[in-house]
């Protein structure tokens, strides 16, 4: 289903349909562009003012009824065809397929959280089985975000306080980019995700394993998965580079200068405070943009995250 004329491969049937509309409009527009510009240049040369004829009057053409009818009717028909064809594909793309799995998408600064119907949730990655239609029900916890799936030719804004929807039919296995397409703050460029389309057997295996794998992990390993799951790594690196927020590498036990002039030691208390009440102590040089994770992370989860931060030396 790769289209030679499309920059991005088409991952679904609707993507192919959308490409076809786009190609059709482009080809028809190019035809009329060259027709009109060609005639313009031809007439300009054919009827140019020649030497010796400067004094002659222009012939007096008033109007040509037939010609005027033709150039009103033809373009009107062309744009009506654009509209009808485009509308048919638009209707197809925005009509939910029967039997789709409903996935809640919650956008926050600066990550996407995906909630499956059975209660499992993922951050940054959405796994779906191939061939089964998906309905995304999307809302934002803070500002306006967007969800863009270039390979599916689908894009929709995500708004706080209301739901917007996208329907997709993942026809091909593979991993596809998700981008945020509204400038939502300093971490906008890091707000990305992946749509992973799995063979149905593989998906069932993942769905079965995903449920209680976390409980069995040692705390620092669990903390590592939580950092990924809650999108922390979108803003905090673990390799020493500063992103939207300070790096977590070597953070534990270090002396941290704060915006309010204090210098504190990054002990358990400070790390916990920074997770549940991030505004209480902003590290010098960083913006106050982190959302609170109070109520989303249990005390056990926070302890696990701190245990993992301690290992990042
Ligand atoms: Cu979210 Cu840009």
With a 6 Å cutoff on the Cβ, whether 138 touches ligand 1 is no
Question: Residues 74-81: contacts with CB within 8 Å, 24+ apart?
Answer: 75/32, 78/28, 78/32
Q: Around 99, how many Cα atoms within 13 Å sit in the side-chain half-sphere?
A: 3
pLDDT digits (tens, 9 = 90+) for 263-286: 888 888 888 888 888 888 888 888
pLDDT more than 70, % of the chain: 95
Atom of ligand 1 at shortest range from CA of 182: 2
Rg of the chain over Cα atoms, rounded to whole angstroms, equals 29
Ligand 1 centroid to 52 CA: how many Å? Answer: 67
Sign of the dihedral defined by the CA atoms of residues 44, 47, 49, 55, in that order? negative
Ligand 1 centroid to 146 CA: how many Å? Answer: 6
Atom of ligand 1 at shortest range from CA of 181: 2
Spatial separation of the C-alpha atoms in residues 256 and 246, rounded to whole Å: 10
pLDDT digits (tens, 9 = 90+) for 122-174: 888 899 999 899 999 999 998 999 999 999 999 999 999 999 999 999 989 99
Residues 120 and 200: beta-carbon distance below 8 Å: no
Atom 1, ligand 1: residue with shortest CA distance: 145
With a 6 Å cutoff on the Cβ, whether 106 touches ligand 1 is no
Ligand 1 centroid to 209 CA: how many Å? Answer: 31
User: What is the model's pLDDT at position 44?
Assistant: 94
With a 6 Å cutoff on the Cβ, whether 188 touches ligand 1 is yes
Residue 195 tokens, joined:
């749509």
Nearest to 251 by CA among 232, 224, 270: 270
Ligand 1 centroid to 155 CA: how many Å? Answer: 13
Sign of the dihedral defined by the CA atoms of residues 41, 42, 47, 51, in that order? positive
Spatial separation of the C-alpha atoms in residues 244 and 190, rounded to whole Å: 9
* Least trusted range by pLDDT, from 84-88, 129-133, 165-169, 211-215: 211-215
Confidence of residue 2 (pLDDT cuts 50, 70, 90): very low
Residues 194 and 125: beta-carbon distance below 8 Å: yes
Spatial separation of the C-alpha atoms in residues 194 and 112, rounded to whole Å: 10
Ligand 1 centroid to 35 CA: how many Å? Answer: 43
Atom of ligand 1 at shortest range from CA of 109: 1
With a 6 Å cutoff on the Cβ, whether 15 touches ligand 1 is no
pLDDT digits (tens, 9 = 90+) for 285-301: 888 888 888 877 877 78
Atom of ligand 1 at shortest range from CA of 184: 2
Atom of ligand 1 at shortest range from CA of 189: 2
Nearby residues of 192 by Cβ (< 8 Å), 6 or more positions away? 124, 177, 178, 179, 180
Q: What is the mean pLDDT of residues 105-120?
A: 88
pLDDT digits (tens, 9 = 90+) for 23-76: 999 999 999 999 999 999 999 999 888 887 777 777 787 888 999 999 899 999
How many CB atoms are located within 10 Å of the residue 108 CB? 21
pTM greater than 0.75: no
With a 6 Å cutoff on the Cβ, whether 180 touches ligand 1 is yes
With a 6 Å cutoff on the Cβ, whether 184 touches ligand 1 is yes
User: What is the model's pLDDT at position 213?
Assistant: 59
Nearest to 14 by CA among 130, 144, 133: 133
> Does residue 208 come out as left (phi exceeding 0), alpha (psi in the -120 to 50 range) or beta?
alpha
Sheet holding 154-158, edge to edge: 125-129, 192-198, 174-179, 145-149, 154-158
CA dist 80 → 73, 77, 94, 228 (Å) = 11, 5, 21, 49
Ligand 1 centroid to 60 CA: how many Å? Answer: 61
With a 6 Å cutoff on the Cβ, whether 236 touches ligand 1 is no
């Amino acid at each position: 289903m790769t289209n030679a004329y499309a920059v991005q491969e088409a991952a679904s049937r609707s993507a192919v349909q959308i490409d076809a509309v786009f190609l059709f409009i482009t080809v028809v527009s190019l035809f009329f562009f060259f027709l009109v510009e060609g005639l313009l240049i031809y007439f300009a040369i054919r009827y140019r003012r020649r030497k010796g004829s400067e004094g002659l009057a222009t012939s007096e053409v008033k109007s040509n009824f037939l010609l005027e009818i033709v150039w009103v009717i033809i373009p009107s028909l062309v744009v009506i065809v654009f509209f009808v064809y485009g509308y048919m594909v638009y209707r197809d793309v925005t009509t939910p397929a029967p039997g789709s799995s409903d996935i809640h998408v919650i956008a926050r600064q600066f990550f996407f959280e995906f909630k499956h119907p059975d209660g499992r949730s993922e951050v940054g990655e959405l796994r779906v089985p191939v061939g089964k239609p998906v309905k995304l029900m999307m809302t934002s916890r803070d500002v306006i975000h967007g969800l863009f799936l270039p390979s599916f030719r689908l894009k929709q804004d995500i708004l706080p306080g209301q739901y917007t929807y996208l329907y997709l039919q993942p026809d091909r296995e593979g991993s596809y980019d998700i981008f945020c397409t509204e400038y939502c703050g300093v971490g906008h460029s890091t707000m990305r995700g992946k749509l992973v389309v799995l063979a149905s057997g593989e998906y069932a295996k993942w769905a079965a394993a995903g449920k209680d794998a976390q409980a069995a992990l040692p705390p620092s390993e669990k903390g590592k998965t939580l950092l990924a799951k809650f999108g922390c790594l979108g803003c905090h690196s673990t390799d020493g580079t500063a992103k939207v927020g300070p790096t977590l590498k070597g953070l534990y036990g270090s002396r941290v200068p704060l915006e309010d002039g204090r210098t504190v030691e990054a002990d358990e208390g400070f790390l916990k405070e920074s997770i549940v009440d991030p505004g209480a102590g902003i590290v010098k040089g960083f913006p106050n943009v982190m959302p609170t994770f109070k109520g989303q992370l249990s005390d056990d989860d926070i302890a696990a995250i701190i245990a993992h931060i301690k290992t990042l030396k």
